[in-house]
Chain A
Amino acid sequence: MTYRAKIGLLAAVAIILVAAFLFIDLGGSWDYAFPRRIKKVLAIILTGGAIALSTTVFQTVTNNRILTPSVMGLDSLYILIQTTVIFVFGSFTLYKLGSNANFLINVGAMILFAGVLYRLLFRREGNNIYFLLLIGMIFGTLFSSMSSFMEVLIDPNEFQYVADKMFASFNNVKTDLLIMASIVVAVTLLYFARFTKYLNVLALGREQAINLGVNYDYVVKRLLIVVAVLISVATALVGPITFLGLLVVNVAYEFMKTYRHSYLISASILISVIALVGGQLIVERVFTFSTTLSVIINFIGGVYFIYLLLKESKA
């Protein structure tokens, strides 16, 4: 099968699943259910695409196929912000704050944090990218611990709200948030387009990339900013879901069997949409909302991760 045929196949599966999601059991409810489902599908495509793209780029920049941008601790920061707001001001404030403000606060804080992290990394020469990951991991753990600390002290009714935020969900995405997130993602993609040609070369490693004339620090810094923005938007929109990236990007590598990022990125975005829409179908039709999508994704992702580790250790 050629690369194009493979992409076509993935696209066909994605379209069929989206159609199934939109039309199953619609029962003529064009005014009520249909717009809601459209909104959900758009949210899925937006976050799925953002996660897939950012994870592919992140793995290329770090030259490591078992990393996800979540090691930078952005997920934990998101939970910490939500917990802190509820702990200090109460869930009512979160409600009153409105989803827009909450979204902006989250995106802003996550991008700010990523910015500080990068500043640490690039301040002097010789700090390699693993240093950044290590710092990110330490901060991630710190954020989680602080969140747990507050969750233990919090009123059990309030904790319900925190627990709600801890799992990704597409069930109540607000329209105005969707528009705002789409704009941010679109602008980021425009910015990212200039750097796409460097991805294949970056995959060869730092030294080869420099040898071939890539302004390495400059390009990597900007790509990492793109990653941080996309992850922040996706997380603030639906909750922590970066684990999905590890799954879809590795499936894309296995399926496409190429190094070319033009194909890899398209494939991983399509697989991401397939996984999310398919998963959401299972959540709604099989489990009738008794579980959340991220539980399913994390379960499948976890099994696949163990498979990857076993395969790597054999090779």
Chain B
Amino acid sequence: MIQVTNVSKVYGGKKVVDNVSVTIPKGQITSFIGPNGAGKSTLLSMISRLTGKDSGQIMVDGKEVSQWKSGDLAKKVSILKQSNHISLRLTVRELVSFGRFPYSQGRLTAEDEKYVDEAIAYMELQDMQHKYLHQLSGGQTQRAYIAMVIAQNTEYILLDEPLNNLDMKHSVQIMKILRKLVTDLNKTIVIVIHDINFASFYSDYIVALKDGAIESEGRTEHIIQSNVLRGIYDMDIEIEEINDNRVCVYYA
């Protein structure tokens, strides 16, 4: 379980994350939503130890993040940030193989290769596994990175805006795969996401942040409500129900 207690982060005198406490439910998709600058990405980075926190406590399976050995935590929690441009000459398969580094320290065993194969198959990348990353489109690159995270085989998967720069088809494809990871493999997934309709359709639990603090949190159906969303985004958002799903209409 991931348990965040009274966590704060200050950048240049401004509290980007202000005394936040939240518990991430296991075996579900949790979405962090909120306006720009609300502290969503910073919170995610602190949970994954990419960024240090100034105060508070973040427990992963009963142990403070900073107490974990980095190599062991890499088998528990994986993080994928939004900007992933590397200038290395890497094939898709080589990138996915890096996901096994926490287990094999770079020397792949037969078991590691099996995980790599599975991850590639899961993201339907078999045809292009020997292509170089710089030959791929944005959507394909994103899928390759997610395959790497799948090969890392962690219980918790944190994704910072995984749909960034993706078209509708690929966005839906990625969200379906995340859903599958939760139902098939019982992963716990946390995503930072801007499109509240994707959050509404695919997440079980929503944490809404505003100005570094939690504005509201709860089951998806409790958050995707006109009055709740007004508090988060300061705008009127109509909710329509289509096939048992709540769709937010905010274009006018």
A residues touching B (Cβ–Cβ < 8 Å)? 63, 65, 125, 197, 200-201, 203-208, 210-216, 257-259
Report B15 CB to chain A, min CB distance, Å: 16
B152: Cβ under 8 A from any A Cβ: yes
Report A14 CB to chain B, min CB distance, Å: 24
Partner of A213, one of B50, B72, B86: B72
Complex Cα–Cα for A215 and B69 (A): 8
Q: Is A65 within 8 A of B87, CB to CB?
A: yes
Residues of chain A with a CB closer than 8 A to B106's CB: 197, 200-201
Residues of chain B with a CB closer than 8 A to A210's CB: 48-50, 70, 79
B169: Cβ under 8 A from any A Cβ: no
Report A232 CB to chain B, min CB distance, Å: 29
Q: Is A214 within 8 A of B50, CB to CB?
A: no
Complex Cα–Cα for A65 and B86 (A): 12
**Among residues 53 to 93 in chain B, which have CB atoms less than 8 Å away from a CB atom of chain A?**
70-75, 78-81, 84, 86-90
Q: Is A125 within 8 A of B71, CB to CB?
A: no
B122: Cβ under 8 A from any A Cβ: no
- Cβ contacts A to B, 15 pairs, < 8 Å: A197-B105, A200-B98, A205-B86, A208-B86, A211-B74, A211-B152, A212-B102, A213-B70, A213-B71, A213-B72, A213-B75, A214-B71, A259-B88, A259-B90, A259-B94
Residues of chain B with a CB closer than 8 A to A197's CB: 105-106
Residues of chain B with a CB closer than 8 A to A205's CB: 86
Q: Is B50 within 8 A of A207, CB to CB?
A: yes
Q: Is A211 within 8 A of B78, CB to CB?
A: yes
Residues of chain A with a CB closer than 8 A to B98's CB: 200-201, 204, 208, 212
Q: Is A201 within 8 A of B101, CB to CB?
A: yes
Q: 16 other contacts beyond A210-B48, A211-B80, with CB at 8 A cut-off?
A: A65-B87, A201-B101, A201-B106, A203-B86, A203-B88, A206-B50, A207-B81, A210-B50, A210-B70, A210-B79, A211-B48, A211-B74, A211-B78, A213-B71, A216-B70, A258-B89
Q: Is A204 within 8 A of B74, CB to CB?
A: no
Output the nearest chain A residue to B106 by Cβ-Cβ distance.
Answer: A197
Complex Cα–Cα for A203 and B101 (A): 13
Q: How many A-B residue pairs have CB under 8 A?
A: 61
Complex Cα–Cα for A10 and B68 (A): 44
Residues of chain B with a CB closer than 8 A to A257's CB: 89
Q: Interface centre among A201, A212, A216, by most B CB within 10 Å?
A: A212
B37: Cβ under 8 A from any A Cβ: no
Q: Is A213 within 8 A of B73, CB to CB?
A: yes
Report A127 CB to chain B, min CB distance, Å: 12
Complex Cα–Cα for A116 and B88 (A): 31
Output the nearest chain A residue to B75 by Cβ-Cβ distance.
Answer: A213
Partner of B86, one of A204, A214, A258: A204
Output the nearest chain A residue to B90 by Cβ-Cβ distance.
Answer: A259
Residues of chain A with a CB closer than 8 A to B88's CB: 203-204, 259
Output the nearest chain B residue to A210 by Cβ-Cβ distance.
Answer: B50
Residues of chain B with a CB closer than 8 A to A201's CB: 98, 101, 106
B35: Cβ under 8 A from any A Cβ: no
Residues of chain B with a CB closer than 8 A to A212's CB: 74, 98-99, 101-102, 152
Report A63 CB to chain B, min CB distance, Å: 8
Residues of chain A with a CB closer than 8 A to B90's CB: 259
Report B3 CB to chain A, min CB distance, Å: 21
Which 4 A/B pairs are nearest by Cβ-Cβ distance? A213-B74, A213-B71, A213-B102, A259-B88
Complex Cα–Cα for A200 and B72 (A): 19
Residues of chain A with a CB closer than 8 A to B89's CB: 257-259
Complex Cα–Cα for A201 and B105 (A): 9
B52: Cβ under 8 A from any A Cβ: yes
Complex Cα–Cα for A170 and B215 (A): 69
Complex Cα–Cα for A200 and B105 (A): 10
Residues of chain B with a CB closer than 8 A to A214's CB: 70-71
